[in-house]
Structure 1
Amino acid sequence: MPIGNVTRGTTGYNRLRRVDRWIAALPVLRRTDDPLVADVGYGARPTTTLELRDRLARVRPDVEVTGIEIEPSRVALANAGTRDGVTFRLGGFETPTPDGRPPAVIRAFNVLRQYDESAVVDSWRIMQDRLQPGGALVEGTCNEVGRVASWVTLDDRVPHTFTVSLRVADLELPSIVAERLPKALIHRNVPGERVHAFLLDLDRSWAVAAPLGTYGPRQRWIATVHGMRDRGWPVLHGVSRWRLGELSVPWSAVAPHGA
């Protein structure tokens, strides 16, 4: 039986472009001998699964994407059309794939948001157990138009990184991402928790970088990320990622106390 619950299924064109860009840059996608990607909980329509395949094919032309949904009518609708490199299957966190092949990457977006926090670790583990060696699980959430997003990237054993990705052109405060934190963190945005301190410093760094707004919001964001590093946060990557509105830190920097 599929593992999980039927979710609202909200979806939309271009909603997951930010996380898709992240997945396209994952080393495992480029080096694997079997570039199979699973999209767990794609929603009422297969739009974002089809977009995922198109985006990943630009860097890995032989990529295959399997969209997985727990609601049979959604799978039937998706299977009404055909598309090279894309299949759709009934299932949940157990991540059924063609011939049972382990995926190199699993994307699970806007799914666990609708579960209790207590379900997160077990759901992660079920999906992690399906990964290829060296594979990646990317789990997170975003707003309805995809301009505010955050996610956790895990391997087959542990979480590794936490990423915030924002459209900075009309950004007032980066802590708007508090509304779209992954389920593992959204209830931990309270004093005494690491993610709360992270968001406070992010807003402070954004404010300090305000004069750089003269040169454009992207320059202000890059300065904000530098500011986070100056405040002692173990910021990852470099300007090529930051200019996309991204900021990543090791999971340990924001992980809930006691986790």
Structure 2
Amino acid sequence: MPAPRVPAPPGRPIGSATRGTTNPNRLRRMDRWIAAAHAPALRRAEAPIAVDLGYGAAPWTAVELLGRLRTVRPDARVVGVEIDPDRVAAARPYRREGLDFAHGGFEVPLPDGARPALIRAANVLRQYDEDEVADVWRRLCARLAPGGLLVEGTCDEIGRRHVWVALTAHGPRTVTFAARLGSLDRPSDLAERLPKALIHRNVPGEPVHTFLRDFDRAWAAAAPYAALSARQRWIRSAEALRATGWPLVDGPRRWRQGEVTVSWEALAPRP
């Protein structure tokens, strides 16, 4: 268990360093979803600044995020923020127009007090205790520009399996499950990648456990579609989930990408 955290002294970043593990294309699934689901807000943003919070020992994810956001908003900017000053120094040779790196933590320092349209925090909160998550979410959401989005989640080392929560200034909105479908035996394989707010709630009686149970049942019932492809099996499973009342907020266009997004309220932990 991590050591208890105390407020950072004035001038010091808030939070703790991650292990720093990173790989090229690790966050492609999350980026692809952001570029699609958040595109209208990015196009409307007065200052399309995105923050890659806790990008790790190498700057690949920040570099890639810039390229993917610029397919939506050509003048998008990305700032990679790291609490480890050595990682910031190592990343600075990669700076270019629209891409910079800064030393900081959950306070999200940006020049001139700018507020980002997007904060992406991937594989950052795994080391924290569950009861710390809500405070971090509030702190990060308070830094967002109007209409901004916080995306916080976890993936495996090469980005085949990923689960993330999307939040606005009003709190968590959705949970997205995404996978390279050929790597799955069943949807509940994604349980090990649940974000910190949910991973300890995957037990009987909790909504996320019920959702994954029902997803597995729908996947089993859709087994005949595996002869067509894992994608078709996934799509049929998502259709069955919706038919049984789960509030999926996306549709076949995203399901074909190996994603399913469900309303946060349906999966929120019980008090």
The TM-score, its normalising length taken from structure 1, stands at 0.98
CA distance in 1, matches of 2:178, 2:114: 31
Letter in 2 for 1:162: V
Letter in 2 for 1:137: L
Contact 1:38 1:97 in 2 (8 A): no
Contact 2:160 2:183 in 1 (8 A): no
Partner of 2:3: none
- Does 1:233 pair with 2:256? no
The RMSD of aligned alpha carbons is 0.9
Partner of 2:187: 174
- Does 1:254 pair with 2:271? no
Partner of 1:32: 45
- Does 1:52 pair with 2:65? yes
Partner of 2:4: none
Partner of 1:88: 101
CA distance in 1, matches of 2:95, 2:248: 42
Identity of aligned residues (%): 57
Q: CA deviation at 1:33?
A: 1.4
The one of 217, 238, 245 aligned to 1:204:
217
The one of 62, 75, 80 aligned to 1:62:
75
Contact 2:164 2:194 in 1 (8 A): yes
CA distance in 2, matches of 1:160, 1:82: 33
Partner of 1:12: 23
Partner of 2:116: 103
Contact 2:163 2:175 in 1 (8 A): yes
Contact 2:177 2:260 in 1 (8 A): yes
Q: CA deviation at 1:204?
A: 0.7
Instruction: Deviation per CA, 1:30-67: give whole Å up to 9, x if none.
Output: 21111000111000110101000011111111000000
List, as ranges, runs of 4+ consecutive aligned residues in structure 1 with deviation greater than 6 Å. none
- Does 1:148 pair with 2:139? no
Q: CA deviation at 1:186?
A: 0.3
CA distance in 2, matches of 1:199, 1:61: 38
CA distance in 2, matches of 1:106, 1:181: 19
3-state SS in 2 of match to 1:137: strand
Q: CA deviation at 1:156?
A: 1.1
3-state SS in 2 of match to 1:222: helix
CA distance in 1, matches of 2:20, 2:69: 23
CA distance in 2, matches of 1:76, 1:49: 14
Name structure 2 gaps, 5 residues minimum.
1-11
Q: CA deviation at 1:101?
A: 0.5
Q: CA deviation at 1:171?
A: 1.8
Name structure 1 gaps, 5 residues minimum.
none
3-state SS in 2 of match to 1:169: helix
80-89 or 36-45, larger mean C-alpha shift = 80-89
3-state SS in 2 of match to 1:195: helix
CA distance in 2, matches of 1:170, 1:131: 35
